[in-house]
Amino acid sequence: MKGKTFASFLKSSHKKPQKGLFKEIEPYRKGFLKVSQLHNLYYEESGNPEGIPILFLHGGPGSGTDANHRRYFDPQFYRIILFDQRGCGKSTPHAELKENTTFDLCEDIEKIKSHLNISKWVIFGGSWGSLLAICYSIMHKNSVHGLILRGIFLSSDEDLDWFYYSGAPKIFPEAYEHLVALVPPGQKILPAYHQLLNDPDKEVQLQAAKAWSSYEARALKLKFDQSFMHRIFDPHKSLAISKIETHYFIHHCFLPSKTWIFDHLKDLSDLPIKIIHGRYDMVCPVKNALILKKYCPQAEVVIVEDAGHSGSEMGILDELVKATNEFKSLFI
């Protein structure tokens, strides 16, 4: 790859573009990996056991993986690895906040890589997963072939202010009204919800988790998706998402400083990076994609004009699948 730009690799792909997700597949291997005395992580492998390893990093933090996440990747070409991050999905203990930080997760990724005898892989991450992918790549650059990122989240004060205080609430005032209804007078949303979601009363936790997840689900897609809203109300899922997100957000995602990401992005300046972002992303504004490109000028940015934040919106989905197909050129 030395001396070549990412764009030059893309020109070698002449196949008819894939539309939609790849076919449904089942894992050929699944299991649990003990990464600390407390945490056990669910992981799975599907696709081609001899293929190029590609790791899917889910969002949230706290959302977990599902079967459709395997389908962004050509199963004949890629060895597809999914795992549920600490405290969510099938990983245990459920919704656990102890020993749950960004750098714990980065080291978990390395432990999974070692456990699966992988020397290097492509990293695919969306939303929170994009930030985790960046942090992991900064710390373990020699483990990474390249990055495919969606809905860039940079964990800045501006990001959190936009979604919880100044921006998105003006677009979704009805949902926001339900969110703030549980906040005691004089308190701010993030610390108040962190307290509610860790209340000794389980019913208080579940009520807060439902309100938190409802607001987030309403903002995820350009067009309202009632079926998606019902799925996110699952107590097991919504409690993990809300508890872990507030835990991370009140601690600024456990980054050493507010500039740590930007101080180290230059270290990724020779990695192939593809960024896909919805024009009307109400969770992570599209300018985040352009900020990232400013620090990584080799990155290719695709702005999907008729999409919001979700990786399941058709325009974003097609671009993500296109990106995973284009990345094959790195290895051919």
Q: Which residues are catalytic?
A: 127, 281, 309
Tokens at 45, concatenated: 């492998």
Whether 170 and 189 have beta carbons less than 8 Å apart is answered as: no
Interatomic CA distance for residues 205 and 194, integer angstroms: 10
Residues in the chain: 332
- The tokens 């964990």 sit on which residue? 155
Whether 43 and 69 have beta carbons less than 8 Å apart is answered as: no
Whether 278 and 307 have beta carbons less than 8 Å apart is answered as: yes
235-250 and 202-220 helices, crossing angle to 10°: 80
Backbone phi, psi, residue 23, to 5°: -60, 155
Tokens at 189, concatenated: 């949303």
Please state, in angstroms and as integers, the Cα–Cα distance from residue 254 to each residue in 60, 80, 92, 251, 292, following that order. Answer: 15, 28, 21, 5, 20
Tokens at 241, concatenated: 């998402």
Interatomic CA distance for residues 292 and 309, integer angstroms: 17
Tokens at 30, concatenated: 């699944």
- The tokens 């997963």 sit on which residue? 129
Please state, in angstroms and as integers, the Cα–Cα distance from residue 28 to each residue in 49, 70, 115, 193, 321, following that order. Answer: 8, 12, 16, 40, 21
- SS3 at position 49: coil
Pairing of strands 52-57, 121-126: parallel
Sign, CA torsion 143/149/155/156:
positive
